[in-house]
A and B are shown apart, each in its own frame.
Chain A
């Protein structure tokens, strides 16, 4: 079974703090993704990566950065957390080729609250 793990289930941070969210997958997937989920807005893509050290902006990259130094690990960084970044953050991975590359496997999510 594909397993995607996220470093924390719940986080509470203060405005202005630097926040690191870690994601690890164990299926040797090339693609990794970071989303946020907000009520009424569905899942919105923040950043994704299709290879080590490669990254692409998603639909809402402002205020975020990412790092992928190893194939299995994809980190999301909030440089200076703000209250509007309070959300559920979801990491996902998928294989690199063919139709199965669309079948993303998700981690359990991190509920981040910025106060």
Chain B
């Protein structure tokens, strides 16, 4: 049972345009959400997070939006740069999960010139 889903395995965007990565979850106990970025042969690195008391969090070119009623979150990257090409994982944690995270399957973003 996949509690965190990333339905798009890959996404290609032109440099300078907006990249939108999507994530859906099913567990209503999740109250903290994160995005991680992973380059090949490296461990994931934390990108941005949002708690369920907010609906938006922004950090430079990266913005995460949370729609609790739809159990949906998205990551916007504006403007996209070639160095953003990586696999992006969304993750969720919640009350009673002892700081555990449940990860999605990842979306591979390719930013083209």
* Chain B residues within an 8 Å CB radius of A75: none
Q: Is B45 in the interface zone, CB < 8 Å from A?
A: yes
* Chain A residues within an 8 Å CB radius of B63: none
* Chain A residues within an 8 Å CB radius of B36: 106
Shortest distance between the CB of A101 and any CB in chain B (Å)? 4
A108 (CB) vs chain B CBs: closest residue: B43
Known: A103-B49, A106-B44, A109-B42. A45 touches B100 (CB 8 A): yes
Q: Are B44 and A43 in contact (CB under 8 A)?
A: yes
Q: Is B89 in the interface zone, CB < 8 Å from A?
A: yes
Known: A4-B43, A50-B98. A43 touches B32 (CB 8 A): no
A43 (CB) vs chain B CBs: closest residue: B103
Known: A40-B105, A102-B49, A103-B49. A90 touches B43 (CB 8 A): yes
Q: Are B98 and A56 in contact (CB under 8 A)?
A: yes
Contact indicator per residue, chain A 6-28, by CB within 8 Å of chain B (1) or not (0): 00010000000000000000000
Known: A31-B99, A50-B99, A56-B98. A106 touches B43 (CB 8 A): yes
* Chain A residues within an 8 Å CB radius of B32: 99, 102
Interface residues of B (CB under 8 A from A): 6, 9, 32, 34, 36, 41-46, 49, 51, 89, 91, 93, 98-106
Interface residues of A (CB under 8 A from B): 4, 9, 31, 33, 35, 40-45, 48, 50, 56, 58, 90, 92, 94, 96, 99, 101-109
